[in-house]
Amino acid sequence: MDLSKSQLAALLILCSLLFVSQSKILKIEEKGNPDECKFRGGCNTNEECKIPCGPPDFPRGTIGLCVRDPFAHSAVHLCCCAPKNSS
């Protein structure tokens, strides 16, 4: 299967965008950085954060992740709502 130069370029661009996006998500998941998150309620799974991190409180495309509360000493998890373009 031979790829043309334009197909190869498009594939490389898509792979790099996916990598950058995943890196941002992992960074938020690992650190739960309070500067990038607006915390909304308790959670057990990322799925539970879709509604609290969605409209009307947040724009479409906001990332909603269930992360450990950086301020708690026990294993408390909160929904971290962060914009896609956070650094």
23-27 long-range Cβ contacts below 8 angstroms, 24+ apart:
24/63, 24/84, 24/86, 24/87, 25/63, 25/65
Each residue of 2-60: pLDDT tens digit?
Answer: 778 888 888 878 766 666 555 555 555 554 455 678 888 899 998 999 899 988 988 88
Residues 65 and 43: their CA atoms lie apart, in Å, by 9
Residue 16 and residue 87: Cα distance in Å, rounded? Answer: 16
SS3 content of the chain, % helix, strand, coil (to 5): 35, 20, 45
Model confidence at 86, pLDDT cuts 50, 70, 90, reads: very low
Annotated domain spans of the chain: 5-82
